[in-house]
Amino acid sequence: MLDYAKKLDKRTSKIKFGKLLPKNSPEFVEILDNFLLVNPYFRSSASESLKWKVFRDVRNKSKEASAPGKLKLLVDRNDAFDYEKCESTRFDLRAYKKIIKETVIAVH
C-alpha cells in the first residue's frame, strides 16, 4: 500500500483548492480537502463532519441518526482492486455503480 501511495503521489499533484477557489473560506477548503482524500480511513465520518462550524446552521439534530454499522460493499473486498496496477481485478465502472446503487437502495 505504501508503494501505491508513493506512485500515486508521483503521478498526481494535490489540487490546491485555496488557490483554485480563492473566494471561499479556509474552512470550506479544509472540508473539501478532507472529503476528497483518497483513503477513506483518513476522511472524516459523517458525524465528525457535522461538527464543522459550516454545518451548524443547516443541521436538524432531531433527524440525525447513526447508522447501525459500516456498509460493506463487494467493491471494497481485499481482492477487488490491484493497487500496483491501479485497476480493479473484479469490477468495471458499470459494475461499481450498480453495486453502490443497489446497496444504497437496500439500506434506504
Under 8 Å between Cβ of 5 and 14 = no
Residue 4, pLDDT above cutoff 60 = no
User: Quick one: pLDDT at residue 90?
Assistant: 84
Cβ–Cβ under 8 Å, residues 55 and 47: no
- Distance CA(90)–CA(79), nearest Å, equals 8
Q: Where exactly are the structural domains of the chain?
A: 2-66, 70-82+90-108
pTM exceeding the 0.75 threshold for the entire prediction? no
Q: Please, what sign has the CA dihedral across residues 33, 39, 45, 48?
A: negative
Per-residue pLDDT reduced to its tens digit, 86-103: 778 788 888 888 888 888
CA 17 to chain centre: 17
Checking if the pLDDT of 82 tops 80, the result is no
Q: Which helix (H) or strand (E) holds 57?
A: none
d(CA 12, CA 79): 24
* Per-residue pLDDT tens over the stretch 63-80: 888 777 776 777 777 778
Cell of 18: 485555496
What pLDDT, on a 0 to 100 scale, did the predictor assign at position 5? 56
